[in-house]
Chains A and B, each alone.
Chain A
Amino acid sequence: MTVLKIDGLTQYFSGLCALSDFNIKLKAGELVGLIGPNGAGKTTVFNLVSGFYQPTKGDIFFLDQPIDGLKPHQVTSRGVARTFQNIRLWNEMTVLENIMLAQHASLGYGIRDLFFRTGRYQRREQKIRNLAMELLEIFKLTELAEEKPKNLSYGLQRKVEIARALSSRPQLLLLDEPAAGLPSQDVVELIELIHWIHREFKIAIWMIEHQMKVVMSLCSRITVIDFGVVIAEGTPEEIQHHPGVIKAYLGDDQL
């Protein structure tokens, strides 16, 4: 089953070509990497998929339904969740509230229920809270439920952000440089975490990452882009020895 299919995705920013004719297919349960030098257009791809930009050209299909043209919150409620390169948690709310709020699209009660505190409101809020607590428990974050994210370490914030993304029960998780800014011992932990999420939640994961150790040990398939163009595709083995990739990363004179 194809989870995500991108056809000829092209993006111009006032004349500047950020992405040109990008194609990919992600099957259910795959863990795929997207790498490339700074400014190559990796985050642009994610922003296009999650609905922040409208593509200049090309189509994006999620579970065979077109999702280009949808607003970000609509894309998320279809089942695509993402994290950000710079962590974007709601810092003044508790960890639990952060996780609960990510279910905003599937609350199942209306304004009237909210003002009159109906039975439906009580039941749904309780259910959302329980689901959030369950998630915190399997992430071993239970004792941090009432903490504010701003008081947590960077590594823990990263973990909470990933848990929050999973709280909307996505079919596809986009991770934008999850290892960015993490000390090396935390990176090992992160690799285990992503590996475990992939096994436990059985969802497709697509990640952007700079640290080769992370991509090479996790992804079954890697796409490399440079200046908005795909320069290589294949298994970690193939990518490591691809002359174009080495050139893009190290420059001509290093060869």
Chain B
Amino acid sequence: MIKQKLTVPITLLALLMTVMLLAQYEVIDLYIQTIILFVGINIIISSSLNLVNGHMGEFSCGHAGFIAVGAYVSSVLSVALFAQDRIFGAPLLPPQYAFIGFPLVLLAGGIAAAFAGLLVALPSFKTRGDYLAIITIAANYIIITLIINIDKIGGARGFMGMKRVIFAMEDVAEIPWMILWVFIFTVLSIIAIRRFVSSTYGKGIIAIQQDEVAAEIMSVNTNKMKLIAFMLSSGLAGIAGGLYAHVIGYVNPKSFDILKSTEALVMVYLGGMGSITGSILSAILFTLLLELLRPLQIIKWVAIPLLLIILMQFRPEGIMGNRELADIFPRLKKFYRFK
């Protein structure tokens, strides 16, 4: 029982400490660190999209729009609050508070993205399937176009200055802050999703996926469940966006177009619809694959879609199908409980 409760937390903590120490003493260089950070961010992106596409069975292909909202809202907030900036002038709060303020800023970005999720959630009451998919693409474009047209935050040129917030945190303590934040928010996101879909309440969205009419007649308030699922999914995407913006130190509306949404979709389908562990595995694999294929440059966008075609032909259910790791290796249940 104790083994079951503690194995996962101890492993995670050991992992965090190792990576942070390796980064601290520069055993792994900045490039490797960035890849590790992207793994975490992509885990949030794929598992949050999986909530809608996998668990609820709707087809959202505008996930990048919500990532963009989170990225911009948290970037603008953190720069305005904690950094000297050309546009916003002197920081509104003393920069030494950045390390406390940063998670709150990320959450604010997540909340903003969750409300942007209404753009898709409300039409989903009346529309589903292909028609809803088109609405999600439209939502993605609306968000990107709005950002391009707000000159105050850089418009098409993009927005930068987030590195100064990181420096402000490093002035307080010289540790790899972003590794810590990405780790914490990745773990929290997975816990949130896992708790949601394993509760009878959250299983309402799985009921919608399997038979929406039956869900409605068996007292599931399908509209409310869709609203919650879409807002949770886009909210977590917003947090991933905030982390992404602070890792890169620069955001540009172009990096959140349909190509980014496609990346998220590839991860979900690679991992398996409705499998959280599948989403985690595929996010790791996909991030590494992107880096390995980097020398191919633009050709990698031939290689990756090709991979998707092969996947759909030979294993349409993805790596895990709709099962979790513990379903495939029951012995793991001794070490962790998927509830």
List residues of chain A with CB under 8 Å of any chain B CB.
50, 52, 71-73, 76-77, 81-82, 84, 88-93, 97, 100-107, 109, 111, 114-115, 117, 121, 125, 128, 164-165, 168
Find chain A residues with CB under 8 A from B196 CB: 114-115
List residues of chain B with CB under 8 Å of any chain A CB.
192, 195-196, 199-204, 206-207, 210-211, 213-222, 228, 322
Question: Are B213 and A77 closer than 8 Å at their CB atoms?
Answer: no
Chain A minimum-CB-distance residue to B214: A88
Q: Say how far A96's CB is from chain B's closest CB, in angstroms.
A: 10
- Select which of B192, B199, B206, B222 is within 8 A of A90 by beta carbon: B206
Question: Are A89 and B214 closer than 8 Å at their CB atoms?
Answer: yes
Q: Say how far A103's CB is from chain B's closest CB, in angstroms.
A: 7
Known: A111-B228, A115-B195, A115-B196. A82 touches B217 (CB 8 A): yes
Find chain A residues with CB under 8 A from B220 CB: 73, 101, 104-105
Q: Say how far B4's CB is from chain A's closest CB, in angstroms.
A: 15
Question: Are B214 and A84 closer than 8 Å at their CB atoms?
Answer: yes
Question: Are A102 and B203 closer than 8 Å at their CB atoms?
Answer: no
Q: Say how far A68's CB is from chain B's closest CB, in angstroms.
A: 16
Cβ contacts A to B, 28 pairs, < 8 Å: A50-B217, A71-B221, A73-B216, A76-B219, A81-B217, A88-B211, A90-B206, A90-B214, A92-B210, A92-B322, A93-B206, A97-B200, A100-B200, A101-B203, A101-B204, A104-B201, A104-B221, A105-B220, A114-B199, A114-B202, A115-B192, A115-B195, A117-B195, A121-B199, A125-B199, A164-B218, A165-B218, A168-B219
Chain A minimum-CB-distance residue to B192: A115
Chain A minimum-CB-distance residue to B211: A88
CA distance A49 to B168 in the complex (A): 63
Q: Say how far B258's CB is from chain A's closest CB, in angstroms.
A: 30
Question: Are A107 and B200 closer than 8 Å at their CB atoms?
Answer: yes
Q: Say how far B313's CB is from chain A's closest CB, in angstroms.
A: 23
Q: Say how far B151's CB is from chain A's closest CB, in angstroms.
A: 38
**Which 4 residue pairs of A and B lie closest in terms of their CB atoms, listed nearest first?**
A105-B219, A88-B214, A76-B219, A90-B210
Question: Are A73 and B221 closer than 8 Å at their CB atoms?
Answer: yes
Question: Are B195 and A105 closer than 8 Å at their CB atoms?
Answer: no
- Select which of A72, A89, A104, A117 is within 8 A of B204 by beta carbon: A104
Chain A minimum-CB-distance residue to B212: A88
Find chain B residues with CB under 8 A from A90 CB: 206-207, 210-211, 214-215
Known: A88-B214, A90-B207, A93-B210. A101 touches B221 (CB 8 A): no
Q: Say how far B298's CB is from chain A's closest CB, in angstroms.
A: 40
CA distance A158 to B322 in the complex (A): 25
Find chain A residues with CB under 8 A from B218 CB: 73, 76, 81, 101-102, 104, 164-165, 168
CA distance A102 to B200 in the complex (A): 9
Chain B minimum-CB-distance residue to A75: B217
Given contacts A100-B200, A103-B200, A115-B196, 17 further A-B contacts (CB under 8 A): A73-B220, A76-B218, A88-B211, A88-B214, A90-B215, A92-B210, A92-B322, A101-B200, A101-B218, A101-B220, A102-B219, A104-B218, A104-B220, A105-B221, A111-B201, A114-B196, A115-B192
CA distance A104 to B204 in the complex (A): 7
Find chain B residues with CB under 8 A from A121 CB: 199
CA distance A161 to B213 in the complex (A): 14
Find chain A residues with CB under 8 A from B219 CB: 73, 76-77, 102-106, 168
CA distance A157 to B200 in the complex (A): 21
CA distance A253 to B246 in the complex (A): 83
